[in-house]
Amino acid sequence: MTDQGNVSLETFTSVEGTKDGVKVYFSYTASSVAMAYQAATFLCDRLDKPASQSAQSDDHICPIHGVPMKKHTQNGDTWYSHKLDDGTWCRGGAK
């Protein structure tokens, strides 16, 4: 008979933002990923929403990832893209 030990995992979550114009930082340690996600969602829902910025013609946000896209021009063609964590490029669904 083998002795099996118990394994305990903790998930750390942090959320940074502003509340009523004051910069805040929350940290939370949970016993599961689901609990950490719930805590982060709960906290994010209570933070100030970013002020909408007037979009300029060169401001493009990826509709898939919600991040700014960089303008590229080559041989008379212009396109917008951003680099993903895996090193590939996303064009926001454009072909």
Tens-level pLDDT at each residue, the chain (95 residues): 555 666 666 777 788 888 887 888 888 788 877 887 788 788 888 888 775 543 444 468 888 888 889 999 999 999 999 999 899 999 988 65
**Please, which residues have CB within 8 angstroms of residue 88's CB and are 6 or more apart in sequence?**
none
* Residues 95 and 64 occupy one common structural domain: yes
Please indicate, yes or no, if residue 3 is contained in any of the structural domains: no
Containing domain of residue 42, as a range? 11-46
DSSP state of 2: P
Q: Would you say residue 80 lies in a domain?
A: yes
Residues 36 and 67 in one domain: no
Identity of residue 28: Y
Q: How many domains does the chain have?
A: 2
